[in-house]
Structure 1
């Protein structure tokens, strides 16, 4: 019995979930998209097979809306797309924005002050996301790699305070040294309560800050309960990182990828194979198609 099967053996019977699940919500990076930055054929086929059984499929991602849109279109989702950890929920078909929650100018300025301390400034690439555009101080190597993978254009402005006539949807600090990101996360979690700011990492090199009411759990709850009239027991979610924790905890069936950190796997009800092993397809087949 593999690790996933061993984990599941202690939590229940997949046949029960098969009948109850009406909504499947997927993360993108590390879940349905790996190193190739595309969705593999087996994953697309599994998603299509679930949809053919009447199961609605949606995306919840930390990506920008414009960056996530091609994935939403590729899986033929008819639901709104939850981007920026759910801070921005928009229906691509109607262009209706269901939710847009921002970080206050005051807090965004405070975060910038923190990032620009002498010991941090040279280590970090700081990103402000405003009205679905990416603004940066300068085009660092890390930012160029990020922008290319995301399929977007970063706009260098020098002093990011120039952008704060509008409130950011998200603030991100990027550093290849994961110890630096861990330290920033720890320090800022001591400085801001969960009622003031939602802080997380979507990958080990990304520190992310959004409005306190934002996380993928509240985004999935909105899609399920407000739009579709479902309950959490009707929802299955699949994710691979700390920004997926809340949606894994909310769902009746929360699946962690095999490439997820141990702490994320620990709260999931089932652990799928890795993204490079098409783990999302395996999970969909196990719970929704068998």
Structure 2
């Protein structure tokens, strides 16, 4: 599966004897404020890290379409992206991307649970590289890609999907029931829950990326701000939390930088450049 990608590739100017690092970065709340693209200071920091020969990997809960959009904004034309909280892994190249792995979930069981307990909630099933199949249209700019409204809920699970989004008032209250059903459920917001297959996380996908790149475990960095980043932070050789992250996330990290409003990711990325 391919799609057009754009952006400038930073030149490599690594110091002799230095070892490449893998830098995994969450997007919303880390590289960018909600609903906004990364700011110039963040773009410059990403370019500097890549120019030094290191690998910057977008690791996000967003769909593959959204992950590729962010990679373009960052100027990353080649490398890896981890999307759908680790359920999708893709390799970027100058003229697009190639999907390396998709881990699907039992969407029917989740959709029936939601319909039985909270029929008022919207559900979206990710279509890898395209968009979503949805029970009803989502608010503007909430989903990246095309939205296909299905008249029959069976349409949500008629084709395999790596991720479901459950959206609506107090949707997060369904998290315990979803987890009890055996799936991975992350409450992104009070009104938004991401659902993926059991034992899938950003860390599971990033470990495969690390092995493919041949990066030493001790040369891995992760920067994040949410509950869905906890496994990624535990996986990394050096873990960094954003200043506005919940206490549980900050406590799980080796260090804490400024908030996303303060462009804390810049300090995190600069730390990579200081490590030899």
Taking structure 1 as the reference length, the TM-score comes to: 0.81
Counterpart-to-counterpart distance in 2, 1:285 and 1:131: 33
- Matching residue of 1:15: none
Matched, 1:165 2:155: no
Alignment of 1:20-169 (within 5 A): 22-77=21-76, 78-93=78-93, 95-103=97-105, 107-117=106-116, 120-122=118-120, 124-132=121-129, 133-139=131-137, 143-145=138-140, 148-169=141-162
The question of whether the paired residues in 2 share the 8 Å contact of 1:127 and 1:134 is answered with yes
Instruction: Choose between structure 1 and 2: higher helix proportion.
Output: 1
TM-score normalised by length of structure 2: 0.85
* SS of the residue 1:188 aligns to: helix
Task: Write out per-residue CA displacement over residues 90-112 of structure 1, whole angstroms, 9 at most, x where no aligned residue.
Answer: 12316322111101xxx311211
Q: Kindly tell me: are residues 289 and 43 of structure 1, through their superposed partners in 2, closer, same or farther at Cα, counting changes over 3 Å? A: farther
Distance in 1 of aligned mates of 2:165 and 2:142: 16
| Distance (Å, rounded) in 2 between the aligned partners of 1:39 and 1:131 | 24
The aligned residue for residue 233 of structure 2 is 248
Unaligned runs of 5+ in 2: 1-17
Distance change >3 Å, CA 110–CA 232, structure 1 → 2: same
**Alignment-derived partner of residue 251 in structure 2:** 266
Pick the aligned partner of 2:168 from 152, 167, 175: 175
Runs of 4+ residues deviating >6 angstroms:
none
Residue 178 of structure 2 is aligned to residue 188 of structure 1? yes
SS of alignment partner, residue 265 of structure 1: helix
Q: Matched residues in 2 for 1:159 and 1:231: separation?
A: 48
Tell me: higher relative CO, structure 1 or 2? Use CA pairs within 8 A at least 6 residues apart: 1
Given that residues 21 and 233 in structure 1 are in contact (C-alpha distance below 8 angstroms), is that contact kept between their aligned partners in structure 2?
A: no
Q: Structure 2: how far apart are the matches of 1:131 and 1:284?
A: 29
Distance 1:57 1:283, change over 3 A: same
> 1:217, CA displacement in angstroms?
0.4
Q: How much has 1:165 moved relative to structure 2?
A: 2.4
Local SS of the residue matching 2:239? strand
Q: For the aligned residues, what is the CA RMSD?
A: 2.0
Unaligned runs of 5+ in 1: 1-18
8 Å Cα contact 1:136/1:158 also seen in 2: no
| Inter-CA distance 57–163: structure 2 relative to 1 (3 Å threshold) | same
> CA–CA distance in 1 between the matches of 2:83 and 2:195?
13
| Structure 2 CA distance for aligned equivalents of residues 235 and 286 of structure 1 | 12
Greater mean deviation of Cα atoms: 50-59 or 245-254 = 50-59
Richer in strand (by share)? 2
| Of 198, 218, 239, the match for 1:212 | 198
- Among 208, 212, 215, the alignment partner of 1:230 is 215
